[in-house]
Structure 1
Amino acid sequence: MQLEGITALVTGANRGIGAAFARALVEAGAAKVYAGARDPETVTDPGVVAVKLDVTDDASVRALAAELGDVQLVINNAGVGAPSLPLDIDIEQARWEFDVNYYGTLRVAQAFAPILAKNGGGALVNMLSVVSFIAMPHLANYSATKSAAWSLTNGLRQQLREQDTLVVGVHVGYVDTDLTAGLEGDKIQVSQVSDALVAGLLAGDEEVLVDEISRNVKSGLSAPLSVLYPDPAAA
């Protein structure tokens, strides 16, 4: 996909990976980048256009779609998460995470797909995770939301081919953001994610596996469950 001169929307673009996506698109030559956030005043990058967007609110999503008829690229980045073991999941927190990570992605896709079609197809990008492929027990509900969003992405890819919209899933392990601040482990920088996505869009890739852990897990999904989910007691 050509990025120079396009108009793009990035959700959750006031910080972290979303802000990095917005900056990377500007640097790649995009003519206009709308940076969506619940509070537009939290968008501080002068190179983007801050817009109000709450992906959990149907009216907010529809209103923005009605306003932004020039969008050719949509990046569904808005996401939330909290550590939780399966039996310790707070149901209300779980609903909130699904409302943002799954239903929010769906709302934006449904609202903006007709606009992408009108503007020649363009691309829809969904920010996913390595936990789309494999569950991590300490991120049980977050893993579930990203797995659901991965399935949705695959369905959208098939349907939106009819209108020549490229649908891209982005998978990555730990990134140095607020979401992973309390988690131990190696973390990559947000710029590595945005650089990988820009390269993937330019190449027309339908899937962007940003880091080694995402590539290894994806390639190993046919392994026995005992390999994917080893028993620590058996080590």
Structure 2
Amino acid sequence: EPYRRTPTPLGLQTMIRSFVRKVARKPVMKMPVRTNMIGKKAPEVSAMACMPDNSFQEISLSDYKGKPVVLYFYPADFTFVCSSEVPGFAALNEEFEKLGAQLIGCSTDTHHVHKAWKNASSELGGLADFDINHPLIGDFKGEVSEAFDVRMNGDFDPLPCRAVFVIDDDGTVMAEHRNADPLGRNTKEALRTVQALLEHKKTGRVVPADWTPGADTLETTTEAVDEYLKKLKAKK
């Protein structure tokens, strides 16, 4: 006898149809589209932070209006690459202060965890051997990370990626750098970026690749570019 399919019970048919309709109505999940913040005003955010003296204080970006701000995000306290980056930024804080710039770190740990991390020994993965001399925001609600669109996988991951924002004294985002989780940042590049920003504001000239303080800047003319490129070629 030819193969004959057993009829599906009416109740099961109804369940299947209902499931198919629900799936058809469900919106397709889309990967997040990253926001380009260059040239835009930084979002106004407020959050609790662990301060250099280990006190807790609510801070806002507007507290530092009138000075450049370097805001860096990192995934988590008591982790691996982060344990090298935060002391690395702290080691440059005196240089940032000389430029009139404010350094701020941020992760989605609480401010209490920041304090514990700062006071724990290196045997426990802590930073007690270092002077963490700038505020660390405890973005445990994820609001600051969301405002700057730095979650590793958008809404699907609460941890921020390794992002750095250089914000001008009027609140405009002038530079944004992002690294993948395994890749630690060159903290000195954040300092160089602030130096370049201040040089541009002082002189009105643009800053070429690999510029360091004291090196040539450029007028925005073809003649200036020609002269610069000839000097560059002569150095090789």
Would the TM-score normalized by the shorter structure come out above 0.5? no
TM-score with structure 1 length normalisation?
0.31
TM-score with structure 2 length normalisation?
0.31
Higher relative contact order (CA 8 A, sep 6+): 2
- The structure with the largest helix share of the pair is 1
